[in-house]
A and B are shown apart, each in its own frame.
Chain A
């Protein structure tokens, strides 16, 4: 689905990522870990064509990212649900509207029942009318997850989805992501929280990738 071949990326200085080759297989569940500043967010941005590689090739749904027009990029993003590190909401729209945003920009009307169910799934039904600045960190993260899956994407990428959540809330979010994977979605979670990875591994066949010294490695059973 997402295929990286000898990918390198640099923001202008030295290379942040070097010689990375990786295939994201359909239905798989991956964690991406590494120290802060190692390039996890950058890696995810390469995966949803927010950044173009400075070396090597990336194919998303069998298309070379360098050949994608701006409209093609928009179309690709409708098939990849992303939970952004900063959530990136529109503060003048209600939570429900923010969750439905991918549908609206695609020219579709959200079905009220579906939206209701989705908000129920992430436990935010009673907050549908709230504005994003009124929400807590955990509520924002769950809303971001709901928005990421509303288009029923094939792939869900989550960037530190449990970033500043307490343990209980982190587990709730992880459960949602595992449920998505059981429904057949491909899931990739960037996190530096090793406890999260350990408890996930008890429930799902998750593979752990680690960025170290600019390279991507498959982490062993030491986690």
Chain B
């Protein structure tokens, strides 16, 4: 860490002048770091959004479920009471509530309009179940025994695959970030290697006048670390701006519009430039050590 900070010191060091400027490879490094940082911002945003989605769905999955009760008119009252009794005595259920007809009407309104005579339809009675850590299979069995018309629906069937998809997406985002870091490392290794062999003659002269490998390597390490840092800073800024100006829509708009960063999560992408600098530092140091050992 100390070495990294030393390498990043401001102003020109003697070693900077001693190694001739390597315009082409250095510019390529800046460009690659910028492009990769830009991609990393989106991978990060996707990862965070997928994580939020998974959390939200998981919470909903754990917490709310419904019981649909369909029974002949004369048994409905008794079976409703039986269902509520079962729920009251089920460990882990914190709250249960019969959904009144007005609420049912509100739920149906988007599909059938406001004038639907809910009372006259043979609609099932809905009971909301809130709680966590209850055993859905046990509850299902007890309901079958006590209220044969009750169907327990914990939404698992359709939500479970969504939650695992969201988890998978988060993992893919994280993997992308790692791959991007690896690609940056590989690119900088190649660029630093090219710069070192292009300067073999300079390095020979430096060795002849008593330069240590660490001194020669430092000039290259510094150059590529700073390039990676500058490029990644530009790419990150562009990526963050891109996400910032995504058209806003409420979360209900779905995954796509939920792609932004939220609150302090805006700090996450700021880690990308220092990370790129660290990757550049390690990659160039390894490349320089190898190249200098090979050059006599």
A74 contacts B by Cβ under 8 Å: yes
| Interfacial chain B residues near A90, Cβ < 8 Å | 18, 20, 202, 205
| CB closest residue in chain B, given A82 | B208
Pairwise interchain contact B210-A102, C-beta atoms closer than 8 A = yes
| CB closest residue in chain B, given A148 | B209
- Could you tell me which residues of chain A, from 90 to 110, have a CB within 8 Å of some CB in chain B? 90, 92-93, 97, 101-102, 104-107
One digit per residue, 1 when the CB lies within 8 angstroms of any chain A CB and 0 when it does not, for chain B 190-222 equals 000000000000101111111111110000000
Q: How far is the CA of A151 from the CA of B202 in the complex (A)?
A: 20
A31 contacts B by Cβ under 8 Å: no
Count chain A residues whose beta carbon lies closer than 8 angstroms to a beta carbon of B. Answer: 24
Given known A-B contacts A74-B207, A88-B204, A90-B202, A104 and B18 have beta carbons under 8 A apart:
yes
Within the complex, the shortest CB–CB distance from B294 to chain A, in Å, comes to: 12
A30 contacts B by Cβ under 8 Å: no
Given known A-B contacts A88-B204, A88-B205, A89-B205, A106 and B20 have beta carbons under 8 A apart:
no
B14 contacts A by Cβ under 8 Å: yes
B17 contacts A by Cβ under 8 Å: yes
| CB closest residue in chain A, given B215 | A105
- Could you tell me which residues of chain B, from 2 to 17, have a CB within 8 Å of some CB in chain A? 14, 17
One digit per residue, 1 when the CB lies within 8 angstroms of any chain B CB and 0 when it does not, for chain A 63-98 equals 000000011011101100010100011101100010
Partner of A105, one of B21, B204, B209: B209
- Could you tell me which residues of chain B, from 269 to 296, have a CB within 8 Å of some CB in chain A? 293, 296
| Interfacial chain A residues near B296, Cβ < 8 Å | 50
Pairwise interchain contact A77-B208, C-beta atoms closer than 8 A = yes
Pairwise interchain contact A105-B211, C-beta atoms closer than 8 A = yes
Q: How far is the CA of A88 from the CA of B296 in the complex (A)?
A: 15
Q: How far is the CA of A89 from the CA of B205 in the complex (A)?
A: 7
Pairwise interchain contact B205-A70, C-beta atoms closer than 8 A = no
A140 contacts B by Cβ under 8 Å: no
Most chain A CB inside 10 Å of its own CB: which residue of B17, B18, B206, B210: B210
A40 contacts B by Cβ under 8 Å: no
Given known A-B contacts A88-B204, A90-B202, A105-B215, A75 and B210 have beta carbons under 8 A apart:
yes
| Interfacial chain B residues near A75, Cβ < 8 Å | 210
Pairwise interchain contact A77-B209, C-beta atoms closer than 8 A = yes
Q: How far is the CA of A101 from the CA of B216 in the complex (A)?
A: 12
| CB closest residue in chain A, given B211 | A105
Within the complex, the shortest CB–CB distance from B295 to chain A, in Å, comes to: 11
A185 contacts B by Cβ under 8 Å: no
Given known A-B contacts A90-B20, A90-B202, A92-B20, A104 and B208 have beta carbons under 8 A apart:
no
**CB within 8 Å of B: which residues of A?**
50, 70-71, 73-75, 77-78, 82, 84, 88-90, 92-93, 97, 101-102, 104-107, 147, 151
Q: List 9 A-B contacts (CB under 8 A).
A: A70-B293, A71-B212, A77-B209, A77-B210, A84-B208, A88-B208, A89-B205, A93-B18, A105-B210
11 additional contacts, CB 8 Å, given A90-B20, A97-B17, A105-B206? Answer: A70-B212, A74-B211, A74-B213, A82-B208, A92-B21, A93-B17, A101-B206, A102-B209, A102-B210, A104-B14, A107-B215
